[in-house]
Amino acid sequence: MSASIAASDSLPDPSFRATVWSLGLGGFAIGTGEFVIMGLLPEVARTLSISIPQAGHVISAYALGVVVGAPLLAVLTAHWPRRLLLVVLMALFALGNIASAVAPGYLSLNLLRFMAGMPHGTYFGVASLVVASLVPPGRRAQAVGLMMLGLTGATLVGVPIAAWLGQHWGWRSAFLLVGVIALLASVWIHRALPRLPAPTGASPLRELGALTNPQVWLTLGTGAIGFGGMFAVFSYIKPTLLEVTGLSLGAVPLVLALFGVRMIAGNLLGARLADKALLPTIGGTLVWSAVVLLLMLVTAPHAIAVAFNVLLVGTVVALAPALQIRLMDVAGDAQALAAALNHSAFNLANALGAWLGGVAIAAGLGWTSTGWVGALLAGGGLCVFAASIWQQRRSKTASPVPAPQA
C-alpha cells in the first residue's frame, strides 16, 4: 500500500482513502463529543440540579483528560501495533461517552468526561503518524489535513446535529450518539487500516526522550500560546455577537456556521501550504492570526463586517497541520509522544485563551477586548516560534550533525 501511494503524485489511492476516512470518522466523533457539551450546559445543569458554571466543569474535565491522557497513553502503548492501538483508543472513547450518557450525578459525569478525553490526543497523534507514513514526504501535511477534516467537519455538521438531539431528547442522547459514531469508527478502522507494526525499537523509554528535546517543547509552546488567540475570541463570540453586534439569537448559529466552514477550508489550505513551505506557513499563520483577531475591535459593531471577520478567524486552524508536521520533523525517534502532545498543547491553548479573555472581560474592558488578548497571544506564539528557529540554527552551527529538516 505504501509503495503504491509513494509512487503517485497525488493522494487518490482507494485503500489510502479508506484509511483516511475511517480515521476521519473517529475524528468526527471526537470533535462532536468535545464541542457539543458547550451548547448543552443549561440542560446538564437543570438535570443534575447544579449551576451552569458548575456544569461547565465537565468541559474542563474533558480537556484535563486530553492533557493527561495524551502523553501517558502514548508512552505506555509505544510498542503496540498501530491498527490495534487506534481501534482500542476509539473503543475507549466510545465507552467513555456511552458511560457519560448514563452518569448519575455531577461527580461521576466529571470523572467520565475526564476518562473520555484521555484517548483524544494519542488518537490524533498516532493517526497523523499513520497517514503521513503512507504518502511521499512532500504530501504529509495534506494527508494529515485530510484526516483532520473529521475534527473540523464536526463543528459544522456533528455538533449541530448532536446539539439538536440533546435539546429535544436530553443531553444524554447527544453523548449516546457520539458513542455510537465512535463504535462505528472503531469497526471501520479495523477493516480499513493495513497491518502496521510499531516502529522498530519503539519503547516507553525511547518515547520519553522527546521530553529532553528543546525543539519539541518550543514547538508545543508555539501551539499552546499562539493558538490560544483564536480561543480567546471564539470562547466569547456568542455574547459578543448578541451584546455588541446586536444580532438576534436565531442569527448567531448562521455566523458560527461561517466559522465552521472556514475552519475546514483553513485546515486544507494550511496543509497544502505547509507541504510547500513549512516554517513560513507557521510564522505567516501566526501573523495572520494577530491581524484578524485585532480586526474584531472594529468589525464587532457591524453585522456584515463581523460575520466576514468570524469567517477569517476560522482560517487560523491552518496552524494545526503545520505544527503537527513540525513536531514530526523535530521529534526524532519519539514520534508518538510528540505527536500526541500536540493535542495537549491545543487544549492548553483553549484553556489559556478562554481564561485570559475572561480576565479582560471581567476587568471591565468589554467584549471586544478579547481581540487584544487574542492578538497578544498570537504574538507570543510568534516569539516562541522565533526562539525555536534561532535555537535550531544555533544547533546546526554548533554541531557537525545536521538538525532535522523542516
CATH number of the domain encompassing residue 106: 1.20.1250.20
Same domain as 35, residue 19 = yes
Mean pLDDT of all residues in 364-379 = 90
Show the domain range for 323: 203-406
Q: What is the pLDDT of residues 25-36, one digit of tens each?
A: 999 999 888 877
The three cell numbers of residue 167 are 435539546
What is the pLDDT of the chain when averaged over all its residues?
82
Q: What is the pLDDT of residues 56-110, one digit of tens each?
A: 678 778 888 888 888 888 888 877 888 899 999 999 999 999 999 999 988 999 9
Report whether pLDDT(207) > 80: no
pLDDT confidence of residue 202 = 54
Work out the percent of the chain whose per-residue pLDDT is above 70.
89
Q: Does one domain contain both 316 and 272? A: yes
209 and 337 housed in the same domain: yes
User: Do 135 and 210 have their domain in common?
Assistant: no
pLDDT score for 386 = 94
Instruction: Please give the residue that has the higher pLDDT: either 381 or 136.
Output: 381
Last residue of a domain, one of 161, 185, 201: 201
**Has residue 400 got a pLDDT over 60?**
no
Last residue of a domain, one of 150, 179, 201: 201
The answer on pLDDT for 187 being more than 90 is yes
CB-based contacts of 386, cutoff 8 Å, min separation 6: 283
What does the pLDDT look like over 166-175, one tens digit per residue?
A: 778 888 988 9
pLDDT of amino acid 170: 85
Both 288 and 401 in one domain: the answer is yes
186 plus 61 within the same structural domain: yes
336, pLDDT greater than 80 = no
Q: What is the DSSP string of 235-276?
A: TTHHHHIIIII---GGGHHHHHHHHHHHHHHHHHHHHHHHHH
**8 has a pLDDT exceeding 50:** no
**Predicted local confidence at residue 199, as pLDDT:** 66
* Whether residue 169 is found in the same domain as residue 222: no
Residue 327 shares a structural domain with residue 389: yes
Task: Give the pLDDT confidence score for residue 272 in this predicted structure.
Answer: 81
Domain boundary among 149, 179, 201: 201
Same domain? 251 vs 193: no
Do residues 127 and 271 both lie within one domain? Answer: no
| pLDDT value of residue 11 | 44
Q: How many domains does the chain have?
A: 2
Rounded to two decimals, the pTM is 0.76
pLDDT at 2 over 60: no
Residues 278 and 178 grouped into a single domain:
no
Cα-based distances in Å from 74 to 69, 79, 199, 228, 391? 8, 9, 13, 24, 26
| Distance separating alpha carbons of residues 116 and 29, to the nearest angstrom | 11
Q: Which pLDDT belongs to residue 375?
A: 94
Question: Are residue 292 and residue 344 in the same domain, yes or no?
Answer: yes
